[in-house]
Amino acid sequence: MDRSGVGAYESPFVGEQRRQLVARLLAEFDNVSQSGTPRWWSLEEDSGWGKTRIIHELYRRLAAERQNGAKYWSPALLPQAPVAKNAGSLTSLMSLRKKVIPESVAPELEAVPQWFWWGISCATRSGTPVQALAADLTQFADHQVGLDQRWRQLASPEPRLGAGRGSEQGEVVETSAGEVLGVAAGLASLPVPGLGVLALAAEWAVPGGRDCGRTEPPSPVAYGDGRDRPDLVDELAPALERLGAAGLPIVITIEDLHLADESLVELLARLLAAQGAPVLVISTTWRGLLDDDSLPAHQLIERVHPDRVCRVLTDEALPDLAVGEREVIVRAILPEVTAWNANLVASSFTNPLALQLACHVDLLSNADRDLGADEVGGLPHDVDGLFGQLWSELAQTTREVLMVAALSTPAGISDSMGLADFRWDSSLLTAVSNTEAAAWVRSDDTRLRLFPDPAQYDVALSQAKVAYDEARRRAVYEAMARAMSAGVAESPAQEEHRARLRVALAYVGFLAWDESTVAGSVALCSSLLADPDVDSCRYVIRLVESALQSTSTSWATGGHWLTLGEAYARTLGGSGRVAEAITALEQLLADQRRVLGPDALQTLATRGALAGVLAGSDRARGAEAITA
């Protein structure tokens, strides 16, 4: 078995037709690199078929065969590891789930990227669409040095080597220096690397959006002159087009495209409509979901020209792995398995992920005899069911901690707030260090954790809702609140996450809308409104209205409440709810006059904002009275 170049803990890559699919993707990369015509390949099948593994193998081929000279990209998407060590553990298997971002890149001396790999996993993104896309941009910031050096090469009149290869003998295709300089001439005013992407990464890709140090939302008069606020997609799409056009092919991998939001879909649609931009988009999605017109991702089918799309409907294009090929996977996980059991389990499970999960069920992993067909047949055969089986085999203490973890996510606390966040703060929970828990936990930040697979989160949360009544949940949430009050966040991401936790707890009535909760709400509103979209505005309005309905406090008490009132009024106006915005601004202005005084800057700003809104409505006379 050839394991050369295989990443950490990966099972063998088997199936001749799957290898051919990777070869087709590699050829498409060459075609896109040379023609400059964007292309989209959509891998569509049920969960566990091996779509992400196809992407892993493509990355390995690109790293091995499309890097001339010093190598910038690591040999595998995930770090190398000894084959024998933990190669068959459930933790190893789950470490690969939904991973499309290179985890460790250690360029060789003087190496620069000859192509750029941008991975996005929709199932693990959090925040509003703008916040999620801004977080995705951090990958460009991580490669700032390499991109800077590559840009200097592209903009230099010295001969250079392109990323593409010819069809004959794999020769490297030279790109004309004159063509590159022609592109560079039009970008002279932009910062190094000359394409704006790094500048955007620095400007947008921070927890909470732009100006993360700001402690209050922008004034309600911001952009009150009718100008449209700059949009991340409007800035990012042309920057990426220029990056590709200058000579750096871009591979964008989207895991679980069916979970994509409007901003990501809009960016992809624009890139795939571009001219002269070597961009290859490879997405994975569950079979049939792209045809669901209720999902944002369906818009790509309607907007992208058919000549630029290849939908790999894998039930038609590729058959199931042969039983012998599936046996190879079984033996990689269970080296001591008997020939009978290897054939039995391989014959029973056609889905590769279901097959691998089944190998970790106690019945199979601890088998000391040949099993009967009825015994294996009695196991669940779908991915969700097998996760449920594995859950039932966890130690009770492990299940308890994972249930609390699921309950402790903002989404687990309240799924009606409208801002999905499936992470929990490990510093607020009892730590579990045993190996079986590690298969159910993935790090997202210094202290933030999440479940590697959405199915794991679903089973943990569903079990928690049964096991924990309201009294037990209240005890958990009160302990969380005490821990948050006693501790200090270690990162901006953790700080914002705690603000979401406080707001979610207050929203469902487990936490009072006291000064600390309102302070957290102000911080959260600040990040949401730094670059507002429909979802963030809806969230802010729901948040503030919940606070007002749950307490007798009004803006008149001053402090953070007044700041929250500013955010509320501004959001109503920005959402087109003019009459409600006027009412909110009138109340806010009256309270600011009492608390801050009529000549305070905030009071004057609100007064100007109200006058501006009234001037654009049928209450112009009121505007004259305010400004008089």
Superfamily of domain 512-628: Tetratricopeptide repeat domain (1.25.40.10)
Q: Cα–chain-centroid distance for residue 8?
A: 22
Query: Which CATH code is given to the segment(s) 17-81+89-210+243-317?
Result: 3.40.50.300
Please indicate whether residue 440 or residue 200 has the higher confidence score (pLDDT). 440
Task: For tokens 């001339």, name the residue.
Answer: 68
How does strand 39-44 pair with strand 161-165? unpaired
Sheet holding 448-450, edge to edge: 424-425, 448-450, 442-443
CB atoms within 10 A of CB 184: 21
| 419-437 pLDDT tens trace | 678 888 888 876 555 556 7
Please indicate whether residue 441 or residue 515 has the higher confidence score (pLDDT). 441
Instruction: Label residue 7 by pLDDT band (50, 70, 90).
Output: very low
Lowest mean pLDDT among 24-28, 122-126, 198-202: 198-202
Domain positions in the chain: 17-81+89-210+243-317, 323-389, 394-490, 512-628
Q: Which of 159-173, 236-250, 347-361, 470-484 has the highest mean pLDDT?
A: 347-361
Instruction: Label residue 12 by pLDDT band (50, 70, 90).
Output: confident
Instruction: Label residue 119 by pLDDT band (50, 70, 90).
Output: very high
pLDDT above 90: residue 265 = yes
Task: Give the predicted TM-score (pTM) of the model.
Answer: 0.79
pLDDT above 50: residue 210 = no
> Do residues 525 and 548 make contact, with C-beta atoms less than 8 angstroms apart?
no
Return phi, psi of residue 229, to 5°. -70, 140
> Do residues 120 and 281 make contact, with C-beta atoms less than 8 angstroms apart?
no
pLDDT above 50: residue 195 = no
On average, the pLDDT of the chain sits at 81
Instruction: Label residue 591 by pLDDT band (50, 70, 90).
Output: confident
List the one residue out of 182, 192, 276, 190 whose CA is nearest residue 235: 190
Over range 587-594, report the average pLDDT: 88
Q: What is the pLDDT of residue 435?
A: 56
| Token duo for residue 176 | 């004309």
Q: What distance in Å separates the CA atoms of residue 622 and residue 605, rounded to the nearest whole number?
A: 17
> Do residues 572 and 588 make contact, with C-beta atoms less than 8 angstroms apart?
no
| 143-161 pLDDT tens trace | 988 988 888 888 765 544 4
pLDDT above 80: residue 11 = no
Over range 78-88, report the average pLDDT: 53
Residue 451's identity, in one-letter code, is: F
Q: What is the pLDDT of residue 167?
A: 39
Provide the 8-state DSSP code for 533.
-
Over range 132-153, report the average pLDDT: 87
